[in-house]
Structure 1
Amino acid sequence: MKPLNAWVRSGHVGAPGTLLTLLLLGLTLSGCGGSDASPSAQVNPVAPAITTQPASQMVTAGQTATFTVTATGTAPVSYQWQMNGTAIGGATAASYTTPATTAADNGDQFTVVVSNAAGSMTSNAAVLTVTSVLVAPTITTQPASQTVSAGQTATFTVTATGTAPLSYQWQKNGTAIGGATAASYTTPATTAADNGDQFTVVVSNTAGSVTSNAAALTVSSVLVAPTITRQPASQTVTAGQRATFTVTAAGTAPLSYQWQKNGTAIGAATAASYTTPATTAADNGDQFTVVVSNAAGSVTSTAASLTVTTTGNPPLKTVFLIMMENHNWSDITSSSSAPYINNTLLAIGAHATQYFNPPGIHPSLPNYLWLEAGTNFGILADDSPSAGHQSTTMHLVTLLKNANITWKAYQEDIAGTSCPLSNVSGYATKHNPFVYFDDVTNSLSSTSAYCIAHVRPFTELATDLANNTVASYNFITPNLTNDMHDGTIADGDTWLATHVPVILNSAAYKQGGVIFITWDEGEGGSAPGDTKDGPIGMMVLSPNAKVGYQNTIHYDHSSTLRTVEEIFKVSPMLGGAANQTDLSDLFTSFP
């Protein structure tokens, strides 16, 4: 701005009012400091800081929840609430109230971003907990009145619903019973003085309480001796099967039972039913009675007869061959880790003590091939299917197919969606002989429909048994742990104890079935005369098997193959099966 005298000198002196205006303007500009204002007069904005974090909230379904934040910083401060990391529309105040909550909102996380011109800050997460609507207890089953004899106890029970936890307090004649805080209450031994007592229970939760109806206790001083209302019935079974006898009795509880065989008490047979061990021909004609007792006396049932038949069994028509691995028979019979084999299977079936893998044939694959074709085709290693596959059609399942006899291989740990030509999990091709034959795999095709239809996951066996749709010939291979190859004797024994009873209880087994359980090879080497190379186990379970029987006839895998061919009447006898002894001596009737 020009000095005032410059304006005058330059001839810009106008009217007096103009000069006054210029003078005032100059004063104003001078007083304001103009462009020379001091920097110390400017104010720097402060970024927001959260002084009170939003707190977690717990509400009941249907209620709302409110979250609040307190923050400092240069105004204006803005807010944006978020649920599970996503901004909530319109939630831009220091507090946010949810809509009415539902169970689906339980566990949601709420944060808020506080911002101003200097920056922003995100709060800690606050958790929303939504609890169910509290429901007061209601009694759905009232305690029932009880009648007992003096000296007995009585039990009262209530059933209630409502929001958990429910608590219970039983009362006798309106007075709380110490320690009686469960859904059931059992009295001490009763006396005549307890007759007519009234029992109620108060059921409570945080929403309220309800008292049951009263249940009356009647105490009778007269004991009633037992009477038999249904006598045990005579039973007829086939040798090897079990028989069950049952009695029904009435009288003052508790009743006790003692079964007798031919007049002699049977150890531990003290229930209302008794099941015999696997029967033999020697059990035919045995008489079974039961003595029922209580404090007032005892009664003996009429005798029920056991008839054991050894002839007339249905012909063998369904075969189950279960393969175990790499143990001499002496390892199994001397092991405390095989209780199911030694204490159960040997008692209900027959077994061979001199059963071997073919002389010098090792390792696994050659023995599996032998069971299928009576030869190892010169293979002496665990070749893959691509290296050891065979083009011949002269093997068991093809003979069966040509005779319209069904077959399946159940392999543990396969998926069943393809022909299993490769090892997977506990499944090993060397333990599945069928994938080594081109007419089964359509020349090593993983998509072979014939292979997929016949080589199935082991898990399907139980369903097929329940539906009575199992094939006539069933080859069963546990995985590498359960067949004792990588696992222990105990692993294999447990697997057999789990799965063999499923077969034993099936219609397919009971109506002409047989289970062969054997091992692929002994533990010795392949040198001639190796005394450690077997014998291996061969157990036979069947309604037609000799129960508890053993023999010392020399057998090998050719014997098993010959036996299966004879059961299904297919020919020719394959490989070594043509010259080996079959297993017929282990049966009461064959085939």
Structure 2
Amino acid sequence: MPVHTPAPRSARRPALPRRPSGPALFAVLLPLALACAQSRDTSHDACPPEAPALATGGAPHALRTVFVIVMENQDWSDIAGNPAAPYVNGTLLPAFAHALDYRTGGLHPSLGNYVWLEAGDPLGIHFDAPPADVPLPVTCHLATYLEDVGLTWKAYAEGIAGDTCPLVNEGTYAVRHDPFVYFEDVSGHPFDPHSARCIAHVRPFEELASDLAAGTVPRYSFIIPDVCDDGHDACPPLNDPVAQQDAFLAREVPAIMDSAAYRDGGVILVVWDEGHRGDHPIGLIAVSPLAKPGYAAPGAYTHGSTVRTVQEILGVTPLLRTAASSASLSDLFTAYP
């Protein structure tokens, strides 16, 4: 009987690594998920082909100096008629103009909306993060435009010391509410807490009073209350974000109105960064000697409208990104720009 010789076995395959599961899988996927969530679309970074310039010709502008004050996270329906906001409802709305349909397209959370107010576009930001995690190498934004044409600007932020560039949260100062420090041409590449340009322009809020008194306030001022005064957090003693916002405005808006800069063609734009539900209307109030008293503007507006209005008042071209396609706030004024 012939002997059957079995065929030689093939070499054993090496063992495959075990797939992570449970906590191990979570540890692997979480950094990837965060990286995806915090990646931004850079397709809107490009600058217009034209260099920034001052508009020429035409009559002198009736409006000359702009103050922007940003409040936090309320739909307009949370403010209008709310007894917790007596200054807004009893003083500002009867005397000045406001928008009824100012929206952000449902953009949340804060950072993208603040960048929109500076760059004319959220620049693909749909998350909150410190500057180190979302550096913006973009040079065409409002502050740089103003400097390029010889106009002055400052951000006045509560809760900062003024001896360094405030690149991180500190106390009640929220860096995500300070769009300027995200731009590398302001804060350095890499970001530098000793950036001279940043320190010169991003100043403690307390300096606004002395600049107003001395007549040295810049043509464009961006006012950044802390997370209590802007109503982001509920803080003692009021423990009510709407009441906190109203108290801040009742204290600080009259101080600006008492200045020569305001009386001579000034405008204070009080704007909320976003609502807290979907894409409902948020607040925009135009306080100015040239604002229409008690007027509720029916037009559709966005943060691009605010940027366009600032550029048109200050005469700076070209319009930045969505500012070019957004309606200006001209309807809120008796004379414009």
- TM-score, normalised to structure 1, is 0.45
Unaligned ranges ≥5, structure 2: 1-58, 235-240
Contact 1:412–1:427, Cα closer than 8 Å, also in 2: yes
The match for 1:511 among 264, 280, 288 is 264
Q: CA deviation at 1:523?
A: 1.1
- In the other structure, the counterpart of 2:224 is 477
Q: Which residue of 2 aligns with 1:464?
A: 211
Give runs of aligned pairs for residues 155-174 of structure 1, distance below 5 A.
none
The counterpart of 1:455, out of the listed 190, 202, 218, is 202
Q: Distance in 1 between matches of 2:285 and 2:129?
A: 29
2:294 counterpart letter in structure 1: G
Which of 103, 121, 136 is equivalent to 1:390? Answer: 136
1:413 to 144, 159, 166: 159
d(CA) in 1 for partners of 2:99 and 2:308? 16
CA distance in structure 2 between the partners assigned to 1:432 and 1:534 by the alignment:
24
Does 1:436 pair with 2:182?
yes
SS of the residue corresponding to residue 498 of structure 1 reads helix
Distance 2:313 2:176 in 1: 26
Superposition deviation, residue 393 in structure 1: 0.5
Q: Work out the CA distance in 1 between the residues paired with 2:66 and 2:314.
A: 9
User: 2:151 aligns to what SS in structure 1?
Assistant: coil
Residue 334 (structure 1) shift: 2.9
- TM-fit CA distance, 1:360: 2.9
- CA–CA distance in 2 between the matches of 1:557 and 1:579? 11
Please give the secondary structure, in 1, of the residue aligned with 2:210: helix
1:536 pairs with 2:282: yes
Whether 1:353 aligns to 2:93 is: no
Q: Give the deviation of 1:314 after TM superposition.
A: 6.7
Q: Is the 8 A contact 1:372 1:395 kept in 2?
A: yes
After superposition, the C-alpha distances for 1:423-452 in whole angstroms (9 at most, x for unaligned) are 001101100000000000122110011100
Q: State the Cα RMSD in Å.
A: 1.3
Aligned to 2:13: none
Rg comparison, structure with higher value: 1
Q: Over residues 191-231 of structure 1, what are the superposed CA-to-partner deviations in whole Å (9 max), with x where a residue is unaligned?
A: xxxxxxxxxxxxxxxxxxxxxxxxxxxxxxxxxxxxxxxxx
Change (3 A) 1:416 1:489: same
Match of 2:254 in 1: 501
User: How far apart are residue 573 of structure 1 and its match?
Assistant: 1.1
More off after superposition, 542-551 vs 580-589: 542-551
SS at 2:194's partner residue?
coil
Write the distance in 1 (CA, Å) between the matches of 2:219 and 2:130: 28
Aligned residue type for 1:514: V
Say if 1:412 and 1:479, in contact at 8 Å, map to a contact too.
yes
Following the alignment from structure 2 to structure 1, what is the Cα–Cα distance between the partners of residues 60 and 172?
A: 38
Tell me the residue number matched to 2:76.
329
Q: Matches of 1:446 and 1:582 in 2, distance apart?
A: 36
State the secondary structure of the residue aligned to 1:561: helix
1:152-174 Cα offsets, whole Å, 9 max, x none, are: xxxxxxxxxxxxxxxxxxxxxxx
The equivalent residue for 1:587 is 333
2: CA distance, partners of 1:534 / 1:505: 34
Distance 2:204 2:325 in 1: 34
Q: What per-residue deviation string (whole Å, max 9, x for no partner) do you get for residues 133-159 of structure 1?
A: xxxxxxxxxxxxxxxxxxxxxxxxxxx
CA contact (8 A) 1:314 1:511 kept: no
What pairs with 1:86-97 in structure 2 (closer than 5 Å)? none
SS at match of 1:439: helix
Partner Cα separation in structure 2 for residue 476 and residue 465 of structure 1 = 13
The 3 A distance-change label for structure 1 pair 408 and 423 is same
Tell me which amino acid in the other structure corresponds to 1:564.
Answer: V
Cα distance in 1 between the residues matched to 2:267 and 2:260: 12
2:309, 2:250 → 1: CA distance? 25
Q: CA deviation at 1:506?
A: 0.5
Check the 8 A contact 1:369/1:375 in 2, yes or no.
yes
Does residue 401 in structure 1 map to residue 147 in structure 2? yes
Structure 1 equivalent of residue 126 of structure 2: 380
Letter in 1 for 2:176: K
Q: What is the aligned-residue identity percentage? A: 53
CA distance in 2, matches of 1:393, 1:322: 23
Alpha-carbon distance between aligned partners in 2 of 1:327 and 1:349, rounded to the nearest angstrom: 20
Maintained 8 Å contact 2:61/2:336? no
Question: Counterparts of 1:586 and 1:551 in 2: how far apart (Å)?
Answer: 6
Structure 1 residue 541: Cα displacement = 0.8
Write the mapping of 1:15-30 to structure 2, written as runs, cut at 5 A. Answer: none
What residue identity is the alignment partner of 1:374? Answer: G
CA distance in structure 1 between the partners assigned to 2:166 and 2:87 by the alignment = 31
User: Corresponding residue for 2:19?
Assistant: none
Query: For residues 168 and 218 of structure 2, what CA distance do their matches in structure 1 show?
Result: 25
Does 1:577 pair with 2:323? yes
Hey, what's the Cα distance between the residues in 1 that align with 2:218 and 2:165? 18
Q: Distance in 1 between matches of 2:94 and 2:208?
A: 25
- CA offsets, 1:475-519, max 9 Å, x none? 001100110110321111011111110001100000110000010
- Determine the structure 2 residue equivalent to 1:446: 193
Point out where structure 1 has 5 or more consecutive residues left out of the alignment.
1-311, 526-532
- For residues 360 and 508 of structure 1, the distance between their equivalents in structure 2, rounded to whole angstroms, comes to 35
Residue matched to 2:10: none
Q: In structure 1, what is the Cα distance between the partners aligned to 2:272 and 2:106?
A: 15
- Secondary structure of residue in 2 paired with 1:410: strand
Matched position secondary structure for 2:299: coil
Counterpart residue identity of residue 483, structure 1: D
CA contact (8 A) 1:408 1:471 kept: yes
Which of the numbers 156, 169, 174 marks the counterpart of 1:423?
Answer: 169
Which residue of the other structure, out of 538, 542, 552, is the alignment partner of 2:298? Answer: 552
* 2:88 counterpart (316, 332, 341): 341
| Alignment-mate amino acid for residue 323 of structure 2 | A
Equivalent pair of 1:313/1:543 in contact (CA under 8 Å): no
2:95 and 2:212 map into 1 onto residues whose CA distance is 21
SS in structure 1 at match of 2:252? helix
Work out which structure has the larger RCO, using CA pairs closer than 8 Å and 6 or more positions apart in sequence: 2
What one-letter code is carried by the residue in structure 1 that aligns with 2:121?
Answer: T
SS for the counterpart of 1:565 is helix
